[in-house]
Amino acid sequence: MPTEQKPLPSGFGRETTAEEVLAGCDLRGKVAIVTGGHGGIGLETTRVLSNAGATVVAGSRDPKRAQMAVAKMKNVEVSQLDLASPSSIDRFANEFLGSNRALDLLINNAGIMATPLMRDDRGYELQFATNHLGHFQLTARLWEALKKSRNARVVALSSVGHMWSGVDFSDPNSNKRPYDKWVAYGQSKSANSLFTVELDKRGKEYGIRAFAVHPGGILTDLSRYMTDEDLRAYGVSRVNGVITIPDASKGPERFKTIEQGAATTIWAAVTPQLKGKGGLYCENCDIAAMAPADSKLYSGVRPWAVAEAAAEALWILSEKLTAISACAIA
C-alpha cells in the first residue's frame, strides 16, 4: 500500500540546515549524483554530502564553472550534463555506468523557472523538458546503477509552485494553449512530484525509493528570469542586478537561507525516518500534509501532484516524448 502522505513528525523544521540533518552521519563508500550540483542549493547539497564522506558527481552544463565552485571540496567529480539535450544525458549516464559503480543517491536538483517561451531541439517547452523529461531520461539511463546499490534513493526537487498547475496531458508543451510561464513552471513541478510516485512504485522491490521535496523560498540563480514585477510580488527587489530582500518578513512565506534550503533534500536522501517509505512529497524536513485543491497556502501538497493514476499516465507520456522505453523500470 502507498505510504500515507502526512507529517511524521520528524522533529526537524523549516529552520533546520543541511548540516544539522547530517550530523553524525557517515556516508563513506556512498556515491551520489547531484544535477546542478555546482550552484545554489545544489552546491550546498554537494558540499554537505562530500563532507560526510560521500563521493559526489556534480552534473553541470558548464563544467569549468562547476570545477571552480567545487575546487576545495573532497570526493567531488564534475561531468558535463545538459538536461535539455538527450545526447548530453546519454553521454553523462554512459560515463557513469562505465565506472561500474553502484549509485546510492540520485538528486535531481537542477531546474529552470518562469522562463519566456522557449523550446528544446525537439520542440518541447523548455521548463517541462528540462525539469521533468531530462530527469526522467537520466533516471532511466542510470537504472542499473541504482539497482546495484540495493538501497538507493532518488530525490526530485519539486516546489510549492506545483499549486499553479497539474500536468496538462492533452497539451503538455503549450502547442495549443496560450503560454503562461508560471503555469508551465507549476506543471513541471507537479510532474517532478508525480514522477517520484510512479518511480517509487516501480523501484521499491529493488530497494529504490523516491521522494519529491519542496526546498522552500530561496534566492538563487533560479530567479534570473523573474521580472522586477515578479520580484516585487514576493517582497524582493533587484538593485544593480543583485536580488535583495528589503524585508524578509514580507511575501507568501519567509525566505530560507541556502543552508536551510538544502536541508529537506538531504533529509529525504539519508534519514532513517523514511526507511520503508516512498512516493512522498516532503517539505521542511518532514513529510508534507495534504492540502485542499483550492488552498491558497504556500505549503502542503495538492492532490494532483501525488495522484497515482496521474503518475502512471505521466510515466507513459514521458516514455513517448523521450522515445525511451523504461519498461525495465518495472
- Positions marked active-site: 185
Cell of 102: 553502484
Write the DSSP string, 43-90: HHHHHHHHHTT-EEEEEES-HHHHHHHTTT-SSEEEEE--TT-HHHHH
CA 189/CA 207 separation, integer angstroms: 25
CB 195: neighbour CB atoms within 10 A?
26
**Alpha helices, H only, the chain:** 18-22, 40-51, 63-69, 86-98, 126-128, 134-141, 143-149, 181-203, 228-232, 258-261, 263-270, 308-322
Question: Which of 311, 291, 293, 310 is closest to 301 using CA atoms?
Answer: 291
222's CB contacts (< 8 A; 6+ apart) are 40, 111, 112, 113
Q: Residue 23, Cβ neighbours under 10 Å: how many?
A: 8
Q: 32 near 105, Cβ under 8 Å? A: yes
> How far is the C-alpha of 23 from the C-alpha of 247, rounded, in Å?
31
Question: Is 70 in contact with 76 (CB distance < 8 Å)?
Answer: yes
The one-character DSSP state at 34 is E
Residues forming a β-bridge with 78: 58
Alpha-carbon gap, residue 90 to 140, rounded angstroms: 10
Question: Helices 40-51 and 263-270 sit at what angle, rounded to 10 degrees?
Answer: 40
C-alpha cell at 294: 483550492
